[in-house]
Amino acid sequence: MSAAVQRPAPAAVRALRHAAYEARTVLGNGEQLVVSLVLPLMAMVGLTFIDLLDGVADSRINAATPGVIALCAVSVAFTGQGIQTGFDRQYGVLRSLSTTPLGRGGLIAGKAVAVLVVIAVQLLIVGGIAAAMGWRTSAAGWFAAVPLLLLGALSFTSLGLLIAGTLRPQATLAVTNLVWVLLAAGGGLLIPLTTLPGRLGTAASLLPSSALGEGLRAAFIHGRFDMTSLVVLVVWSLLGTAAAVRWFRWE
């Protein structure tokens, strides 16, 4: 009798298993946790001791938390995925996985789901600490924030994969970290566009970072949905995904 042929698990199951692996890898990586959690939390605490955000909300913690949540999402979707994917590509991990039953589609889907899982963990930790510091928001704020976070994750994951799939890992490491610093400082994430100088504020308004930051501030501070931020993030999601599909090199 011939041995029974073992069939691969359904595509959705394969993608979810890979997502679980990716999420464990990110959450177990000390360097990535520093960028995705420790530094944003330090920024949140720091912004409550200076007057940079005075007048944005009724308290400094309410003004700082939306931007910190936006920074967390960018950290894991852009910097974290970009660096991890870049080194996976260098060592041939992507090439090997793309030839397994997981396939390229399952690999990308797994990475996307893993990003959402890590963002959910970030929300629990950052939101919990912010709440302990006095942060308050409404159910309407969370309702308006969720689609912006999803689109923000898609936008920055696609951009991170684009960089990781076209540059060498060392260059990816340098570029993603430099962009992270620039976006945190003047890209509309932590600091509202209204506080930036004229031309810088105008240029930053076109970035996905400012759309995410301003959108979350509108949601969590005012409990309203920012349609402009949504449109900007949709455009960046489409452009980033199309560019990543077109130019991403698996090896």
User: Mean pLDDT throughout 223-244?
Assistant: 93
Helix and strand totals (H; E) in the chain? 12, 0
Residue 246 has pLDDT above 90, yes or no: no
Residues 6+ apart with CB under 8 A from 105: 11, 15
Query: Where in the chain are the domains?
Result: 11-247
The predicted-structure confidence for 140-196, as pLDDT tens digits, reads as follows 999 999 999 999 999 999 999 999 989 998 899 999 999 999 998 888 899 888 877
Cα dist. 117→64, 131, 188 in Å? Answer: 23, 21, 24
CA angle at 119 for the pair 117 and 120, rounded to the nearest 5°:
65
User: Mean pLDDT throughout 227-235?
Assistant: 95
The predicted-structure confidence for 4-35, as pLDDT tens digits, reads as follows 556 667 777 887 887 888 888 888 888 788 88
Residue 43 has pLDDT above 90, yes or no: yes
Residue 76 has pLDDT above 70, yes or no: yes
Q: Which residue has the higher pLDDT, 112 or 238?
A: 238
Q: Which residue has the higher pLDDT, 100 or 85?
A: 85
pLDDT for 6: 61
φ/ψ (deg, to 5) at 133: -90, 0
pLDDT for 159: 93
Residue 67 has pLDDT above 90, yes or no: yes
User: Mean pLDDT throughout 109-123?
Assistant: 89
| Residue type present at position 142 | W
